[in-house]
Amino acid sequence: MSKPGDDEKEAPLDRGPSPWISREGEVVHPDAPAGSGGIGRFRMAGSLGSDGNGADDVRHPRAPSVRFEALSGDEKAEVLDGGVKVKEKPRNPPPRTVPRKIALKKTLPSFDLDVVLEIVADNDAGTISGAKTELDGSGVALTGIAFEINSAPGQEEAKPTDKVVALTGKATISGTATIQVVYGTVLGQRVLPEEEASWGRGTTPGDVAANDITIGFHESCHRDDYVAYLSASLPIQSHSFRVGMTVAQFDAEAARIGKAIDDWFEAAEAASRTKTDEVGTKMSEYVKTHPGSTGH
């Protein structure tokens, strides 16, 4: 009588799907409450790690990097496809964000522009959906100019009908605007700059040919758009402050300039959406066919 193993080896124990697959069919870490082979809800018997993942290019559940970075979309696809290789498109690393300050200075007859564009480090732990390059111009305002009136004895505040008898200083649009790329989440997973862009820059034929297809590349285009637009334009061409106007007219002109500053930054964002989002796979078309996607 032959003993097991004399003529043939015993078949290895089939432990079922990848340990990354929960019994509900979701890709989760085995130690998660909904996990498969760890301390959560067990799906298969045996010691964790004895049979690998069943998908060569997917990190092992005990790999140190898994503690800090979730599985990529490509890794998840490979696990869900039962180990079928998912070929990742060739791509350049996303451009590195270099924090810096860019001075926008112009001296014109009626006003001065003294604005700083500050590019700050990426926020990779944002609470937004998806990724976005945020332009915050709230720190920029009209400064430098004031008025004088001939006030009545004992008058503490200017009245709307009082006439301006003198202007002091020079109208200046000044302050700091910030530009920052923020990476949030999609369906509970952290968005990473090296992932593939869904629309706009990063999807055009030229970008694909150059292997510039990442989300980080896309967001860098928005950043470049903002800098280029604001550097080449002005919020106002002139103002109408003058001696003889009423205090109410002075305040109305100051409010008009304040709105023009806000519009300046909004126009930069609108121009960038046209230039960077509405090319290649257009954002406006993408959101129509992808429920839950809102664009920006």
d(CA 153, CA 256): 32
pLDDT at 71: 76
131-135, 248-252, 283-287: least confident range: 283-287
Give the phi and the psi of residue 270 in degrees, each rounded to 5. -65, -40
The whole-chain average pLDDT of the chain stands at: 85
Which residues, 6+ apart, have CB-to-CB distance to 164 below 8 Å?
Answer: 147, 148, 149, 242, 243, 244, 245, 246, 247, 250
pLDDT for residue 251 is more than 80: yes
Confidence check: pLDDT of 14 > 70? no
User: Which of 73-82, 111-120, 189-198 ranks highest by mean pLDDT?
Assistant: 111-120
pLDDT for position 17:
56
pLDDT of 13 reads 39
231, 104 in Cβ contact below 8 A?
Answer: yes
Mean pLDDT of 68-92: 70
Least confident of 59-73, 128-142, 280-294: 59-73
pLDDT band, residue 87 (cuts 50/70/90): low
Residue-level pLDDT at 5:
46
pTM metric for this prediction: 0.72
In this model, does residue 296 exceed pLDDT 90?
Answer: no
pLDDT one-digit tens code per residue, 171-210: 999 999 999 999 999 878 899 999 999 999 999 999 999 9
Q: What is the pLDDT of residue 43?
A: 46
- Asked whether residue 62 carries a pLDDT value surpassing 60, the answer given is yes
Query: pLDDT: is 76 or 110 the higher one?
Result: 110
Interstrand relation of 111-119 and 131-136 (parallel, antiparallel or unpaired): unpaired
pLDDT at 32: 65
Q: Where are the domains of the chain?
A: 24-88, 100-152+161-289
How large is the average pLDDT for residues 56-80?
72
Residue of higher predicted confidence among 21 and 102: 102
List of residues 6+ apart from 190 with CB closer than 8 A: 69, 70, 124, 183, 184
Extract the runs of DSSP E, i.e. beta strands, from 59-110: 100-107
Report d(CA 157, CA 153) in Å as an integer: 11
Residue 150 has pLDDT above 80, yes or no: yes
Distance between CA atoms of residues 244 and 247, nearest Å = 9
Q: With 70 as the cut, is the pLDDT of residue 83 above it?
A: no
pLDDT band at 61 (very low <50, low <70, confident <90, very high): confident
Positive or negative, the CA dihedral 141, 173, 229, 236 is positive
**pLDDT for residue 27 is more than 80:** no
